[in-house]
Amino acid sequence: MITCITAISSVSRHRFLWLGALLLSAFLSSAQASSSDFVLADQCPPSFALDQNNQCRLRNLYQLYDSLQDRGLGGLKTALPEHRDGFSPQQIDLGRLLFFDPVLSADKNLSCANCHNPGLGFSDGMGRSVGARGQLSQRSAPTLWNSAFLQSFFWDARAHSLEQQAVGPLFSDHEMANTPQQLLADINQVEAYPELFKRAFPDASDALVIDNIAIALSAFQSSLISLNSPYDRYAHGDAKALNPNQLEGLNVFRSFVARCSQCHTPPLFTNQQVAVIGTPEPAGLPRDIGAQETFDAQRLRGGFKVPTLRNIARTAPYMHSGRFATLREAAEFYTQGRGHAVPEGEELLLHWHISDPNLTDTELDRLVDFMEALSDESLMPKVPTQVPSGLLSGKTSISLVTASGE
């Protein structure tokens, strides 16, 4: 009860939060489950193998390929970049529960999954996400598929590990708006969590700490692997995996005219670099300077991390603030003239691979066909029907459950 009183007094400036906290404490005591209701997995998710140290290691056909061979213009048998793995099955599974648990947000109505919804390619279908207190975030929520392979995070590349990234949304005013003290107090108040953290971090003297919340979330996110799309089956030698339109699209995609694969380089469909390409902002919004701020570099003004195109058919709208509603519009952007959307008076140093490819309507259609062949959700994790806080209810669970098709 002491933690509950702290929870209320720290938010007492806002009457609606008062009410929220009161409702929450009533709800938490009635609806939450005990640790015995949750058994953390002792096996790795599919496509991972358990090693003798109880760590899950990724197993994938791309690991057979030599990274130095067949590089360049979108070679099929190119190795994957380095990735994060080595988390235990228990850590991954605890991360899954945390990911879906609204108890992580300040007013307990928002989980990571609200903005990274599995049914929407781990994005949210919005140009700009809406945070815990209704604030609009500056940018759109990127997919989390294959984030194990990323070297930098956020559109402006400002974070360098999943752990560093995870504390971002937890404590950002535009996202979950929590504080470390509040978060720990709330999670400790949920009956099941202290025991679940002990099981996931058996060697820690104090298992329920912010660092371990970040590790568990990272463990879960790095299990989201999507590498079995029609494109991948084609790359591994199944000539029939792509239909003729998709194959034509692949050829446009990696042609030196279109140059898509120079930046959206297979097999991840990003070269992980920041590029200035000059996409337009949504009407009425100021220019987002992007990576200029991260690197304190004028030449990166308007630069964004090249996003992966994996499961891209699931994550409309497109670009850093969702300016384009469809893949066709996103593809068209590249053929409307270099710098056509850069406002007058704005000087952007556009990337040299942004050119004037003059793609035909048919070529644009084929590019869309090809991008649609990058979908694979076969390793979709199980969306929990309930989370330890008991807070997965109403709006949250309905949208998640229908979206994941359960």
Cβ(261)–Cβ(231) below 8 Å: no
In the bound state with ligand HEC, the residue whose beta carbon lies nearer, of 65 and 317, is 317
Cβ(373)–Cβ(230) below 8 Å: yes
Smallest distance, ligand HEC to C-beta of residue 64, A: 26
Smallest distance, ligand HEC to C-beta of residue 35, A: 21
List phi, psi (to 5°) of 322. Answer: 65, 35
Sign of torsion over alpha carbons 140, 141, 142, 143: negative
Smallest distance, ligand HEC to C-beta of residue 148, A: 10
Q: How far apart are alpha carbons 357 and 119 in whole angstroms?
A: 34
Only one residue has tokens 């809406």, namely 130
In the bound state with ligand HEC, the residue whose beta carbon lies nearer, of 40 and 330, is 330
Beta bridge partners of 49: 57
Q: Quick one: tokens of 88? A: 């235990």
Smallest distance, ligand HEC to C-beta of residue 221, A: 6
Q: Quick one: tokens of 265? A: 């380089």
Catalytic residues: 175
Beta bridge partners of 50: 56
In the bound state with ligand HEC, the residue whose beta carbon lies nearer, of 65 and 124, is 124
Q: H-helix or E-strand containing 86?
A: none
For ligand HEC, the binding residues (CB under 6 A) are: 104, 110, 112, 114-116, 129, 131, 137, 139-142, 144, 147, 150, 153-155, 162, 165-166, 169-170, 175-176, 217, 221, 258-260, 262-264, 275, 277, 279, 304, 306-307, 309, 312, 315, 318-320, 327, 330-331, 334, 351, 353-354, 367
In the bound state with ligand HEC, the residue whose beta carbon lies nearer, of 31 and 257, is 257
How many other C-beta atoms are found inside a 10 Å radius of the C-beta of residue 37? Answer: 12
Smallest distance, ligand HEC to C-beta of residue 170, A: 5
Please give the C-alpha separations between residue 278 and each of 232, 260, 262, 361, in angstroms, as whole numbers.
30, 15, 17, 22
Peptide bond just before 267 cis, omega within 30 deg = yes
How many other C-beta atoms are found inside a 10 Å radius of the C-beta of residue 114? Answer: 23
Beta bridge partners of 318: 324
Smallest distance, ligand HEC to C-beta of residue 390, A: 19
In the bound state with ligand HEC, the residue whose beta carbon lies nearer, of 195 and 281, is 281
In the bound state with ligand HEC, the residue whose beta carbon lies nearer, of 78 and 311, is 311
